[in-house]
Structure 1
Amino acid sequence: MSTRFDLCERVTLAVHGQGETWNFIRDFASHWVTPLDESDGNSESVLSATEERLGIALPEAFKEAYALFGCRSDLTRNSEHLLEPAALYLDHDALIFRHENQGAALWGIRLADLQHADPPVYYCTCIENNVMDEWEPWLGRFSLTCLDLILWESLSDSRMPIEFRECNDEDIPLIEQLYFELPSSSQVGSDNSYTPFGVRWFTGTDLLLCVTGADLRVRTRTREALWSIRETLPGDWLDEY
């Protein structure tokens, strides 16, 4: 395995097609988590049985993603939850594939878009008593949603050094000065956006930093990198190591 994995460089490539997105996910898993192997994906028979149960044809990108990492809960089910094939269901005129961990939101592919190889993804929030709001656009392609999902879920892998705290006005200029920003929606174009509006990603040595507006979330590969972020951005960090 190569010791070099440039997140900025690889994200730039990953947004331009399904194949590059899957390559990014393979390499991200190898360098930041543990490598993918054949047992980490759902079999063709499992996905075919899911199509038969639901009475639909799953989009190409959807099946490719599940065949690649659908069984890897450490990559997909730490914070929000990618539904396993047996748990996928149709509701609100959509194929529901992801839940917020407390049931406050759903992600889905609208039934009218299932004929597309790599369809757009929508989400809706739960207002109260399981009453759902209207669908809102999330990201323009399912494969890009997977890129976002893998990065986001890596921030909640309890086996790795993780911290978070509230973001203050002084943080952003310092972060912009000290760390490299992963290509944003405005840089790669709206059709290739891999992050929801308002989310920014930065990277440093052995460090991945997410700015959501209200919060800072950090994932590191080493404890030394964790201590470094505490010194560089002092504040009331909550350690989840």
Structure 2
Amino acid sequence: MAESVRSRAGAWALVRGFAAYWGEPLGPGDGFTDAELDAAERRLGLRLPVALREAYRLFGRRADLTSNQDVLLTPDELHVLDGALVFRAENQGCAHWGVPLDGLDREDPPTVFRLDLADKAQERWEPWDERFSATAAAMALMEKLLEDHELTDFLDWDEELPDGLGELPALGRHFRWYQGPEVLVGVAEEAWVVVRARTPQALDAFYGVVPGESPDE
């Protein structure tokens, strides 16, 4: 996956393939229009980066890829906060992702992250990814994995994952990816594990190799 997101085209190809394999193929109505993005530019008085526009046009309206856990802001919700264009928010407003304003002239600018703290004087934008397209691709994959679905389940973290899972290249901060027979597994900061299967049989087979887990739990 890491190789896939070395370019914008690679990132969007990864999102297209992932959406089709784990859900529904992307369609013409799954993104925002140029007119909506142009209106956001006029309202904000700035130009949106090429990569951001491409992501919003491609899958910005696909809730399963943008807002199962955290939320991709709509064009009319984009806003500026302390020197960054905010495009994504944690589901309770505890954190935000943005693009530094001094990077908006780059086609695929870096992204930053900011926690919402009780002491506002301590809040700072911190570096996140080197390219917006990598951030957007990781978001799409993670949000799909976190979808409320009968073939998705959350498990307690165990230091040893089941045999037969292959670790995939890194994509996204503080998150590791594994793949098994028709299952995709994500491990978040060694705190929790989420598994998504393509079929009930694949999920049952995964439960069968996880100590203490069963389809009925």
Aligned residue number for residue 35 of structure 1: 25
Q: What's the counterpart of residue 108 of structure 1?
A: 98
Who is 2:125 aligned against?
A: 135
Task: Check conservation: 2:177, 2:184, Cα contact below 8 A.
Answer: yes
The Cα shift of 1:153 comes to 0.2
Query: CA–CA distance in 2 between the matches of 1:25 and 1:97?
Result: 18
1:96 is matched with 86
Partners of 2:165 and 2:178 within 8 A in 1:
yes
Could you tell which deviates more after superposition, 92-101 or 217-226? 217-226
2:166 is matched with: 180
* Structure 1 position 204, deviation (Å): 1.1
Q: Is the 8 Å Cα contact of residues 164 and 238 (structure 1) preserved in structure 2?
A: no
In structure 2, list runs of 5 or more residues that go unmatched. Answer: none
Structure 1 residue 12, shift from structure 2 partner: 4.7
Percent of aligned pairs with the same amino acid: 38
| Contact 2:208–2:214 (Cα < 8 Å) also in 1 | no
> Displacement, 1:125?
0.8
Q: 1:204 aligns with which of 176, 180, 183?
A: 180
- Match for residue 230 of structure 1 among 176, 193, 207: 207
2: CA distance, partners of 1:131 / 1:209: 38
Structure 1 counterpart of 2:57, one-letter code: A
Deviation at 1:41, TM superposition (A): 1.1
**1:183 partner amino acid:** P
1:1-241 equivalent positions in 2, closer than 5 A = 11-128=1-118, 133-169=123-159, 171-172=160-161, 174=162, 177-184=163-170, 194-196=171-173, 198-212=174-188, 213-235=190-212
Paired residues of 1:164 and 1:239 also in contact (CA < 8 A): no
Q: Runs of at least 4 residues of structure 1 off by over 6 A?
A: 129-132, 237-240
Give me the CA root mean square deviation: 2.1
Task: Render the CA deviation track for 1:33-71: whole Å, top value 9, x for unaligned.
Answer: 101111111111111011001111000000001010111
Aligned length: 216
Q: Gaps (5+ residues) in structure 1?
A: 1-10, 185-193
CA drift of 1:166 comes to: 2.1
Aligned equivalents of 2:99, 2:216: Cα separation in 1:
35
The alignment's TM-score, normalised by the length of structure 2, stands at: 0.92
Q: Distance in 1 between matches of 2:116 and 2:212?
A: 32
Tell me by how many angstroms 1:129 deviates. Answer: 7.5
Q: What's the CA shift string for 1:68-106, capped at 9, x where partnerless? A: 011111211100000111111111211001011111110
Contact 1:165–1:235 (CA under 8 A) maintained in structure 2? no
